[in-house]
Amino acid sequence: MAVLSGIWGLNFIFIKVGLADASALWLGLLRAVVGTVATAVVLTSLGAWKELDARGRRDALLLGLPNTTAFYALLFLGLEGVLPGIGAVLTYTFPLWVAILSPGVLGHRLTARLWGAVALGFGGVVLVSQPWAGAGGPVSYVAVLELLGAAVAWAVGTVLFQRRFRREEMLEANGLQLVGGTVGLVALLLILGPGRTPTFSTNLVLALLWLGILGTAAAYTVWFYLLGRTRAATLSAYAFLVPVVALIASAGLFGERLSAVQFLGVALVLVSIFGIGRAPETHDFDRSVPPPPE
């Protein structure tokens, strides 16, 4: 998770670099295409295309809609309006949403401590975005909503994945959800229009190689491998390192600086994420039992 957090933290830097030469939807689609191809190579080398039945393959393809289509579209659109550090903090409210969704989907019971951690995290979001500052505030309202939407989409995909698939099915399901998500991004681009077409500069190519090969194929393989062996809330807690990496890198490369209020907000979000993951596990059903047939 430490290596994974470093890769994902730098993803925010490469997304910002890529957005200089491609629109948000184009960049999201190109990342998905490169990531899907690279993931297919990884899974083929691991012999991981043999676990799912027809219903499982269908479900994995459909889960690509929240997990890749909605997540990539909202993430890349949101990062058009903010610097990488703040973008990472807002996106990585993802564990808060996982905690909220887990009782209904995974049967985890939220204790008072967990609810307190969730409330603390959302308090941090308020301090980071400073809605009382109005339209001239430090963060665009639209960007905040897009990035929080991306976090919700990722959380929905995560808990549904852990509910639906056994550990030995996770890697194959990941490959198929990338396929489904890529198709969804193509449909979204056709519906909303092509927008600004990509200019394939050296920076864009490097960004796509990082985002597709390391940030998607390698990182998703590790993430879904771990997701099959660790509860979603615990695993996501270690992701508090991602905003830290993004903030440090963005400060060095883009000169991003936080006000005292925003710094306090970031600290609250990070403490909240860690607190959610360190809470004891309580659940109401046996995860070893497969979902009931339709």
Report whether pLDDT(289) > 70: no
Distances, alpha carbon 267 to alpha carbons 121, 138, 244, 247, in Å: 9, 17, 10, 12
By percentage, how much of the chain surpasses pLDDT 90?
55
Retrieve residue 130's tokens: 């400073």
State pTM to two decimals.
0.87
Report whether pLDDT(5) > 90: no
Boundaries of every domain in the chain: 2-278
Place of tokens 């610097």: 83
Report whether pLDDT(165) > 50: yes
Strand partners, 108: 283
pLDDT digits (tens, 9 = 90+) for 197-206: 899 999 999 9
**What pLDDT score does 284 carry?**
40
Q: Among 193-202, 216-225, 272-281, where is mean pLDDT lowest? A: 272-281
pLDDT digits (tens, 9 = 90+) for 231-271: 666 676 677 788 999 999 999 999 999 889 999 999 999 88
Long-range contact list for 134-143, CB < 8 A, 24+ apart?
A: 138/86, 138/259, 138/262, 139/81, 139/82, 139/86, 139/90, 140/81, 140/82, 142/81, 143/78, 143/79, 143/80, 143/81, 143/82, 143/87, 143/90
Mean pLDDT over the full length of the chain: 86
Residue 181 makes CB contacts below 8 A (sequence gap 6+) with 32, 64, 65, 67, 68, 69, 71, 72
What is the phi/psi pair of residue 41, to 5°? -65, -45
Strand partners, 283: 108
**What pLDDT score does 233 carry?**
61
Q: Which residue has the higher pLDDT, 135 or 82?
A: 82
Q: Which residue has the higher pLDDT, 27 or 277?
A: 27
Q: Which residue has the higher pLDDT, 124 or 131?
A: 124
Q: In degrees, to the nearest 5, what angle opens at C-alpha 79 toward C-alphas 74 and 80?
A: 105
Report whether pLDDT(189) > 90: yes
The number of beta carbons lying within 10 Å of the beta carbon of residue 51 is 16
